Amino acid sequence: MTTHAPRPHLEDSLSPRRVLASEPVYEGRIWDVRSDTFELAPGSEPLRRDFIEHPGAVAILPMDEQGRVLMLRQYRHPVGMDLWEIPAGLLDVDGESNLDAAARELAEEADLTASEWHVLVDFFTSPGSSSEAIRIYLARGLAEIPHHERHERTAEESEIEFAWVELDEAVAAVLDGRLHNPSAVVAVLAAAARRDAFEQLRPGDAPWPAHPAQR
C-alpha cells in the first residue's frame, strides 16, 4: 500500500537566512542592484546573489457597473512593444499607504476615482532576480475626474490609449497569447476566477507582510 506525505499548507512563508555581507553594486534612478552573501544553513558554503532592489508597486483593475475592465495601451521600450496594461505605479512616495498610492495612480493614469476597493492579488514579478512586489486592486464604484482637475501625463504616458473590455474578452486575449503585461495577465485571470465572489476579497487596506519593505 502506497503512503503519501501529508499535504503541505499552501502558503508562502518568510525564511530568514544569515546574511554575511550586503552591498550596493549599482544605484539607479528608480531601483538599485544589491549583492548579498548568505548561508542556506549555519556553516554551509556561502552563496552570493545579485538582485534588483525595488520599491514595489501597485496596480489597479478598474471595473464598471457592466463588469467591463479598463485597459490602457502604452509603449514599453525594453520590449519594444505597445502593451495593453492596467493602471499601475511605483510605491515611491514616503509615507503614502498602498491604498493611497493605488488611488493616486488610478487618478493619474485613468482619470478615475473609485469608492470600492478590494485586494485582488499579490505577487512577485521575478523573485529569482528582483525584490519587486506588486499588489493588484479591484476598483469599483468608478467616477470620472473633471477635466480641469486631471493629471497632465508626459513622456510615454502622454500616448496612453483607453479601452473598456468585457472580462471574458480580456481572458481570451491572455490565453491566446495576445496580452503580455504581467499585472494585466494576473489581474484579468484573478478577476475571472473571483467574479461571483468579489465581496470575499481582502479589504483595500489589508496588510501586506510579504512585501520585503513592509515586514
pLDDT digits (tens, 9 = 90+) for 134-177: 999 999 999 999 988 888 888 888 889 999 999 999 999 999 99
Predicted model pTM? 0.92
| Alpha carbon distance 206, 88 (integer Å) | 18
Burial 92-107 (b: 16+ CB within 10 A, else e): eeeeeebbebbbbbbb
17-30, pLDDT tens digit by residue?
Answer: 999 999 999 999 88
Residue 78: Cβ within 10 Å count? 5
Nearest to 143 by CA among 62, 77, 66, 36: 62
In the structure grid, which three cell numbers stand for residue 74, read together? 502604452
Give the residue numbers marked as catalytic.
157
Nearest to 133 by CA among 53, 70, 206, 201: 53
182 three-class SS: helix
User: Does pLDDT of 9 surpass 90?
Assistant: no
> What would the mean pLDDT of 120-124 be, rounded to a whole number?
98
Strand partners, 49: 36
Is 86 within 8 Å of 187 (Cβ atoms)? Answer: yes
In the structure grid, which three cell numbers stand for residue 91, read together? 510605491
In the structure grid, which three cell numbers stand for residue 184, read together? 494585466
User: Does pLDDT of 1 surpass 70?
Assistant: no
